[in-house]
Amino acid sequence: MGSMPVRTLGRMGVPWPGDGLRRSGGGGARAVAVRLRQETMRHPPMNPPDSELLRVQSLLADLHGIAWEADATSMTFTSVSEGVQEILGYDVADWLDDPGFWNDHLHPDDHDRMVGRLVRVATAGGPFDEEYRLLARDGSWVWIRDVGHAVKDDEGSPAVIRGLMVEITAEKAREQEREERQGRFQRVVENLPAIVYLESVTREDNGIGEMLYVSPQVEEILGFPPEQWIEDPSAWALQFHPDDRMRVRQEYERIERTGGPFQADYRMFTSDGDVRWFRDEAALIRDEAGSPLYWQGIMYDITAEREAEERARESEDRYRTLVEQIPAIVYREEVTGNGLELVYINSRVQELLGITVDEWMRDPGIWLETIHEDDRPSVIEENRRTELTGEPFLSEYRMRARDGRVVWFRDQAVMMRGSDGEPAYWQGVMIDITPLKEATGQLSEAEARYRTLVEQIPAIAYIGQGSVDETRPSERPRADGGERCAW
């Protein structure tokens, strides 16, 4: 068989074009290996003087690294420092006596990448800085950072490759832990029912800063992909509801002066034109020196909450309108640790008693003071009883209006309890029964006058079959059919 230019990567069996090597017909791989060793002897490693070597060895011991040197032509390791024992648990001889040691101990996931990298350095030269795993004697995988370069000969071709391996297993473990934490944090962020964002401290004329990050929820909630907000921050500002833009801008201006925090409720248009309400809260994140880094914010979709508030407000308005039209005083007293506190009374109190709502709300004692002094004790007793028992309050009493009038009220109230069963408030209504009381009084007076009149008539008055018979006894028929009846 004729000659064939070839190089091999030690025992790796990776061929690539070369020169100066011949394969004989009868030698095979053994003949190639012999020729490689001969080539190595003609290009011995470029070793430093003994004094410098000692200094380097001392430095390597402090670094806990493995210094190595390999022939660029044969790809055979020619020198390995004692650090291999400390880091990998092997003797130097284990490595140097086995030309394929490094190749055989590479992690499968790193093997092809690192073999290819070393081949490129051996052929083209240049520096390298790689991270990979090697199998230690105890069966564990050790992370290595390998930094080195190719030393060229007089002809400019790579002659020797020198490198330094430093163990980075602990650093890799910490890096993996950080990545896992980051992954967990990202999963939490991306599963929140809200939009999380990072915004630059530098703002555009529209008040919006460059978006550094926007969580994927923005597409689900507003219909826009995160990339759109990041690439064009002005698109964010355009989605603000016109009625809210000025207020939000003023909040931005305020935090620019004060450093935050930012908080605002506003509306935004979705991609299909719907309106969503958001509560936007952001804090300024600073570095250890106190310099601003970015704004970190979160936007909660509060549309449902706002709609519920609007429905409640409309319901309250309808209720208030109804209550204000009732011809009675409607009130509510909350149960507190200090007793009862009036929280609402309608405007009928001014119409009936001449006392304004504000006056009534400001003065807790005005109710009792306005009650007629003759009725006050019984009202106080009823109030005390119902507070203790929780039974409905019911009392009829008089109150003195500002103009001196006496107004009769029928006051009814019931205790309302919270979801926990505890007393929450008293809901009551005071009905003006003055006309009824006056009518009752007039009826009593008329009855008294009539009774007096009847009792003064010299005859017997009685009611029979719905009529009053005022016949004198002497004019009644006799019981025996005679002219008179003996009574």
Domain count, the chain: 4
On whether both 206 and 302 belong to a single domain, the answer is: yes
Quote the pLDDT of residue 253: 86
On whether both 432 and 392 belong to a single domain, the answer is: yes
The 3-state DSSP class for residue 281 equals strand
Residue 456 lies in a domain: no
Cα separation of 477 and 437, whole Å?
46
Residue located via tokens 């074009």: 17
On whether both 287 and 339 belong to a single domain, the answer is: no
On whether both 36 and 49 belong to a single domain, the answer is: no
On whether both 248 and 345 belong to a single domain, the answer is: no
Which is higher by pLDDT, 69 or 3? 69
Residue 366 lies in a domain: yes
- Across the range 84-102, mean pLDDT stands at 94
On whether both 165 and 226 belong to a single domain, the answer is: no
How many other CB atoms sit within 10 Å of the CB of residue 38? 12
* Strand-pair category, 141-152 with 158-167: antiparallel
Quote the pLDDT of residue 146: 95
| End position of a domain, from candidates 143, 173, 203 | 173
Residue 128 makes CB contacts below 8 A (sequence gap 6+) with 117, 118, 121, 146, 147, 148, 149, 163
Residue 211 bridge partners (DSSP):
199
Quote the pLDDT of residue 415: 94
pLDDT for 37 beyond 50: no
Quote the pLDDT of residue 428: 94
Which is higher by pLDDT, 62 or 112? 112
On whether both 283 and 342 belong to a single domain, the answer is: no
- Across the range 88-107, mean pLDDT stands at 95
pLDDT for 264 beyond 90: yes
Quote the pLDDT of residue 63: 66
> Mean pLDDT lowest for which of 35-49, 232-246, 372-386?
35-49
DSSP 240: B
Question: Is the pTM for the entire model greater than 0.85?
Answer: no
pLDDT for 406 beyond 70: yes
- Across the range 467-471, mean pLDDT stands at 51
> Mean pLDDT lowest for which of 14-28, 171-185, 299-313?
14-28
Residue 55 lies in a domain: yes
Residue located via tokens 């109230």: 413
Instruction: List b or e across 240-272, with b for residues whose CB sees 16 or more CB atoms inside 10 angstroms.
Output: beeebbeebbebeeebeeeebebebbbbbbeee
Q: How confident is the model at residue 13 (pLDDT cuts 50, 70, 90)?
A: very low
Residue 481 lies in a domain: no
DSSP 125: -
Quote the pLDDT of residue 333: 94
User: What's CA 250's distance to the chain center, in Å?
Assistant: 24
Quote the pLDDT of residue 444: 66
pLDDT for 24 beyond 50: no
| End position of a domain, from candidates 306, 340, 361 | 306
Q: Are 115 and 9 in contact (CB under 8 A)?
A: yes
On whether both 103 and 216 belong to a single domain, the answer is: no
Residue 450 lies in a domain: no
Q: Are 346 and 331 in contact (CB under 8 A)?
A: yes
Percent of the chain with pLDDT over 70: 77
Residue 185 lies in a domain: no
User: What's CA 440's distance to the chain center, in Å?
Assistant: 66
pLDDT for 28 beyond 50: no
Average pLDDT of the chain is: 81
Residue among 215, 204, 181 nearest 298 (CA): 215
Residue 320 lies in a domain: no
Cα separation of 334 and 416, whole Å?
9
Q: How confident is the model at residue 35 (pLDDT cuts 50, 70, 90)?
A: very low
Quote the pLDDT of residue 148: 92
- Across the range 353-362, mean pLDDT stands at 95
Cα separation of 89 and 99, whole Å?
18
Q: What is the pLDDT of residues 299-352, one digit of tens each?
A: 999 999 999 998 888 888 887 777 777 889 999 999 988 888 999 999 999 999
Q: What is the pLDDT of residues 128-153, one digit of tens each?
A: 999 999 999 999 999 999 999 999 98
* Strand-pair category, 275-286 with 292-301: antiparallel
Instruction: List b or e across 352-362, with b for residues whose CB sees 16 or more CB atoms inside 10 angstroms.
Output: bbebeeeebee
Phi, psi of 337 (to 5 degrees): -65, -20
On whether both 125 and 25 belong to a single domain, the answer is: no
CATH number of the domain within which 200 lies: 3.30.450.20
> Mean pLDDT lowest for which of 34-43, 99-108, 447-456, 462-471?
34-43
Quote the pLDDT of residue 32: 31
Quote the pLDDT of residue 343: 93
- Across the range 404-430, mean pLDDT stands at 94
Domain extent for 99? 45-173
Quote the pLDDT of residue 451: 72
- What one-letter code names the amino acid at 262? F
Which is higher by pLDDT, 410 or 60? 410
DSSP 391: P
DSSP string for residues in 61-124: HHHTEEEEEEETTT--EEEE-THHHHHHS--HHHHHT-TTHHHHTB-HHHHHHHHHHHHHHHHH
CB-side exposure of 255: number of CA atoms within 13 Å?
24
Residue among 439, 440, 441, 417 nearest 427 (CA): 417
Cα separation of 136 and 50, whole Å?
30
Quote the pLDDT of residue 9: 41
Residue 51 lies in a domain: yes
Cα separation of 254 and 252, whole Å?
5
On whether both 216 and 296 belong to a single domain, the answer is: yes
Quote the pLDDT of residue 184: 82
On whether both 168 and 50 belong to a single domain, the answer is: yes
On whether both 13 and 97 belong to a single domain, the answer is: no
Percent of the chain with pLDDT over 90: 53
